[in-house]
Amino acid sequence: MSGVVLQSLSTMDVLTYPNPQPKNIGQIFILLQYQAPANRIKVMVQKAEILGKLTRMPGAPDHFVSIRLIHGCQVKDMKETRSVTGFSPVWNAPFLFDIPSKAFQDETLSIEFVIMQGRVYNRARILGRVQIGFGSSEAGLAHWKEMYNKGPVECARWHALQPHDF
């Protein structure tokens, strides 16, 4: 073993690493469809993968998604999925949101997905969020533009959950 240098890291070395990678809290698969003649958006919350766990309670946690249509700075409509147990829940839950007239033109419309851990009618905690539409991340804006430009054709994408910061 000449010439081989073995190095071990202490707990302090690991904990004080200067640029830690952000913790992956999961991702969600969302389908969008703009139904122009009816002036509405179809949203399908399909599934999530690799969701984190907020508590130390044994067993797999329950997850549900709160979907909010936001116009300007106001929540215009809100809907929720049912609660599903597991770290990779499948909802396949469709929702329709009526769009305020000229909302696309004033560029203040978005849809926010808040992933909650816990039971719908019990205490719940926010695991993460995804925003799609104006004021969102590059990925969220790209999905929004694809939905708007494809018209009645459904478009689906994976979105990484962002940490709860509101």
- The structure tokens 């010439």 sit at 3
Cβ(65)–Cβ(89) below 8 Å: no
pLDDT at 164: 73
CATH architecture of structural domain 20-160: Sandwich (2.60)
User: Which has the higher per-residue pLDDT, 59 or 92?
Assistant: 92
pLDDT tops 80 at residue 105: no
Cβ(156)–Cβ(131) below 8 Å: no
Of the ranges 47-51, 102-106, 115-119, the best mean pLDDT one: 47-51
17, with CB counted inside 10 A (0-12, 13-18, 19+), is: exposed
pLDDT at 6: 46
Angstrom distance (rounded) from CA 57 to CA 19 = 30
Helix (H) or strand (E) holding 139: helix 138-150
Residue type, 143: H
pLDDT at 118: 83
What is the per-residue DSSP string for 64-111? EEEEEEEETTEEEEEEEPPPEESSS-EEEEEEEEEPPTTTTTTT-EEE
- The structure tokens 């808040």 sit at 114
Distances (CA, A) of 101 to 36, 133, 141: 11, 16, 20
Q: Which two tokens stand for residue 89?
A: 């829940």
Angstrom distance (rounded) from CA 64 to CA 83 = 5
pLDDT tops 90 at residue 159: yes
Mean pLDDT, residues 69-95 taken together:
94
Cβ(154)–Cβ(143) below 8 Å: no
Over residues 23-71, the pLDDT tens digits come to: 678 999 999 999 999 999 999 999 999 998 887 777 788 999 999 999 9
Name which of 10-24, 36-50, 71-85 the model is least confident about.
10-24
User: Which has the higher per-residue pLDDT, 143 or 72?
Assistant: 143
- The structure tokens 């839950």 sit at 93
85, with CB counted inside 10 A (0-12, 13-18, 19+), is: exposed
pLDDT tops 70 at residue 130: yes
pLDDT at 74: 93
Mean pLDDT, residues 101-128 taken together:
83
pLDDT tops 60 at residue 21: no
Q: Which two tokens stand for residue 131?
A: 């925003």
The overall average pLDDT reported for the chain is 84
